Amino acid sequence: MTEKEEFVEELSGLLEDNATELKKQWVKEMTEMGLLEKLSSLEIEQQSTAIYDTCVLTIKTGMYEAAKKYAREMAKKGVLEAMTVDQIIMGMLKLRDVYGRFIFYKYQKDVEKLYKVLGVYEPVANRILSIVALAFVEEREMKITDQQQAMLTLSTPVLQIRDQILVLPLIGTIDSARAAQIVEQLLNSIVDTQASVVIIDITGVPIIDTAVANHLIKTIQAAKMLGADTIITGISPANAQTLVTLGVDLSMMTTRGSLRSGVKLADEMLKLVVMEKR
């Protein structure tokens, strides 16, 4: 056993032996700082035991896996929901203080040994703190990515305005990732709602280039294969001019100037069927 290993064993042994007392001290100090206000005493007991044990285990084994796993779980649960990130990190700092002061107290007679034990303790304590902080940052980043994904879906709502009519108002720039997502969403909506006319309103799309035009044509054709007709509304004169210049065949599309006239046309298309029935 190396000298360092000896210290590790001695230190973790000390922390284990004095667990009850040190934990009590820690909880007391956190309570005084008002960090645990919203927790029940059972929660305090469970969480402090779990955190305390994880820290001792990490010091003992030098393996951070358990600490990482625990920190991730804490972060995911929004920890104890009732605590803010600030409170959690303050709590961890407090635990570091409690351990630290205990070590000072134990080795006050032997400063040389104190330094060596601190040499084992400090890096582990710092590392645990950075793991906890990181877990929270990562959790937050993951939430943001999820939200962005949700926004992407939200930004292209498919609206059912009549029994068999869907309206898809497109807003903003359309890159190919978004275009692919829109096409899939629209086709699924057609089947889900059994809509026979789809109006795609592109008033809110600033630039229509060949790529966007191709996506539109693709959408129209796939919708047609399902059995639904598509009307494109809101092509500005400038955009129409660009499309023609680019060589896009506008005759492949049924177009109307405004969303209103598009809806009117859709009604007519459906009414045509109704009238024939008589």
Stretch that binds another protein, among 5-13, 67-75, 140-148, 269-277 (CB under 8 A): 269-277
Tell me how many degrees the CA angle 120-7-47 measures, rounded to the nearest 5.
65
Buried b (16+ CB within 10 A) or exposed e, 197-220: bbbbbbeebeebeeebbebbbebb
Count of positions on this chain that bind another protein (CB under 8 A): 22
Please say whether the beta carbons of 197 and 223 come within 8 A. Answer: no
Tokens of 263: 């809806």
Residues 69, 77, 218, 271: which binds another protein (CB under 8 A)?
A: 218
Residues 39, 166, 228, 265: which binds another protein (CB under 8 A)?
A: 228
Fill in the per-residue mask, 11 to 50: x = in contact with another protein (CB under 8 A), - = not in contact.
----------------------------------------
Does 152 bind another protein (CB under 8 A)? Our answer is no
The distance of closest approach from Cβ of residue 188 to another protein in the complex, given in angstroms and rounded to an integer, is: 5
Residues 222, 240, 250, 270: which binds another protein (CB under 8 A)?
A: 222
Please provide the distance, in angstroms rounded to a whole number, between the alpha carbons at the two ends of the chain. Answer: 97
Return the number of the residue (4 or 224) whose C-beta is nearest another protein.
224
Fill in the per-residue mask, 169 to 198: x = in contact with another protein (CB under 8 A), - = not in contact.
--------x-----xx--xx-xx--x-x--
Which one-letter DSSP state was computed for residue 84?
-
Closest alpha carbon to 45 in 24, 16, 69 = 24
The distance of closest approach from Cβ of residue 47 to another protein in the complex, given in angstroms and rounded to an integer, is: 36
Return the number of the residue (98 or 186) whose C-beta is nearest another protein.
186
* Torsion sign (Cα): 81, 87, 89, 92: negative
DSSP string over 231-269 = EEE---HHHHHHHHHHT--GGGSEEESSHHHHHHHHHHH
The distance of closest approach from Cβ of residue 120 to another protein in the complex, given in angstroms and rounded to an integer, is: 38
Question: Residue 234, by phi and psi: left (phi above 0), alpha (psi -120 to 50) or beta?
Answer: left
Return the number of the residue (44 or 187) whose C-beta is nearest another protein.
187
Q: β-pairing, 159-162 with 229-233?
A: unpaired
Buried b (16+ CB within 10 A) or exposed e, 110-124: eeeebebbbebbeeb
The distance of closest approach from Cβ of residue 148 to another protein in the complex, given in angstroms and rounded to an integer, is: 15
Return the number of the residue (31 or 188) whose C-beta is nearest another protein.
188
Which one-letter DSSP state was computed for residue 251?
G
Rounded to an integer, what distance in angstroms lies between the CA atom of residue 54 and that of residue 245? 68
Residues 120, 202, 223, 263: which binds another protein (CB under 8 A)?
A: 223
- Name the site residues for another protein (rule: CB under 8 A): 177, 183-184, 187-188, 190-191, 194, 196, 217-218, 221-228, 273, 276-277
